[in-house]
Amino acid sequence: MQATITTDRHFQWKVILAFAMVYIVWGSTFFFIHKALAGFGPFLLGAFRFTTAGLLMLAWCRYKGYQLFNKRTIVRAGLMGLLLLYIDNGIIIWVEQFMPSGLVAIMSASVAIWFIILDKPKWKANFSNLPTIAGLFMGFFGVVMLFGDRVAQSMDASERQANVVGMLLLLLGALAWTVGSLYSKYYGKPETKAESSVVSTAWQMLIAGVTFLLTAAIRGEVSSFRFDTVPMSAWWAIAYLIVFGSVIAYSSYIWLLQVRPATEVSTHTYVNPIVAVLLGVFFANESVTPTQMTGLVVILLSVFLINWDAYNLSKVFAKKQPFMRMRAKVRVRAKIRTSAAARTDSTTGEEMPL
Mean pLDDT split into 10-residue runs, the chain, 354 residues: 60 84 87 92 94 94 87 90 93 89 77 78 75 76 72 68 83 90 79 74 94 95 90 94 90 83 73 80 77 77 70 53 55 62 52 38
Q: What are the residues whose beta carbons fall under 8 Å from the beta carbon of 270, sequence distance 6 or more?
A: 23, 109, 300, 303, 304
Same domain, 114 and 243: yes
Same domain, 74 and 222: yes
Cα–Cα distance between 48 and 69 in angstroms, integer?
A: 23
Domain range enclosing 26: 2-311
Task: Please tell me whether residues 43 and 186 are part of one structural domain.
Answer: yes
Residues 337 and 297 in one domain: no
The reported pLDDT for the residue numbered 348 is 47
Residues 44 and 167 in one domain: yes
Kindly state whether residues 50 and 137 are assigned to the same domain. yes
Same domain for 260 and 342, yes or no, is: no
- Cα 342 from Cα 344, distance rounded (Å): 5
pTM (global) more than 0.85: no
Q: Please tell me the total count of domains within the chain.
A: 2
User: Same domain, yes or no, for 292 and 328?
Assistant: no
Angle at the Cα of 174 (from 169 to 175), degrees rounded to 5? 95
Asked if residue 326 and residue 218 are part of one domain, the reply reads no
Same domain, 17 and 126: yes
- Specify the pLDDT at position 235: 94
Longest dimension (CA), the chain: 122
Are 182 and 319 found together in one domain? Answer: no
User: What is the CB neighbour count within 10 angstroms for residue 224?
Assistant: 11
Where helices occur in the chain by DSSP H, the ranges are 2-20, 26-36, 42-64, 71-81, 90-95, 101-108, 111-118, 123-127, 130-152, 157-187, 197-219, 232-240, 251-259, 262-265, 268-283, 290-306, 313-348
> In this structure, are residues 101 and 34 in contact, taking their beta carbons and an 8 Å threshold?
yes
One domain for residues 208 and 271: yes
Contact 286, 102 (CB under 8 A): yes
According to the model, what pLDDT value does residue 143 have?
72
pLDDT at residue 80 in the model: 92
Q: Determine the pLDDT at residue 343.
A: 58
